[in-house]
Amino acid sequence: MQGGLFPSAAASYGKAVERAVTPFVDDKYKDKMLGQKLGNLEGKSLFPKVMLDFIRVVKDTANHALHAEDHDFTSKGEVAPAREFAKMLLTYLYTLPEQVKTAKSALSDLENNEDRSKAARQT
């Protein structure tokens, strides 16, 4: 990997995605590289195709940052897609489930309050 902040960032996005998807792959893939994990995920119905596609973009960007000798990432714009896709995946896996749980709880509370109000008016 050539020096600089942008190649390091690209490699880090790849590592973050690799760690995020590891719990979802079969045991024999847990110690494999992200590309092999991605292949295992493609055979499952856990992620939408578009998500698998952007996992591949992050993987390829990270690999290019780590192994390409002919190019060094020199701008934020070059690594921005990998950053955004990694952020979306992490949000999907870790933030969104809690947000949905909170929203469902709020709706349940609202429905319970409406039921109590109706019952109180009927008495």
Structural domain boundaries in the chain:
5-93
pLDDT single digits (tens) 30-78: 999 999 999 999 999 999 999 999 999 999 999 999 886 767 888 999 9
40: Cβ–Cβ under 8 A, 6 or more apart, which residues? Answer: 25, 26, 29, 32
pTM here is 0.80
- Cβ 34 vs Cβ 18: under 8 Å: yes
pLDDT single digits (tens) 73-109: 889 999 999 999 999 999 999 999 999 999 999 999 8
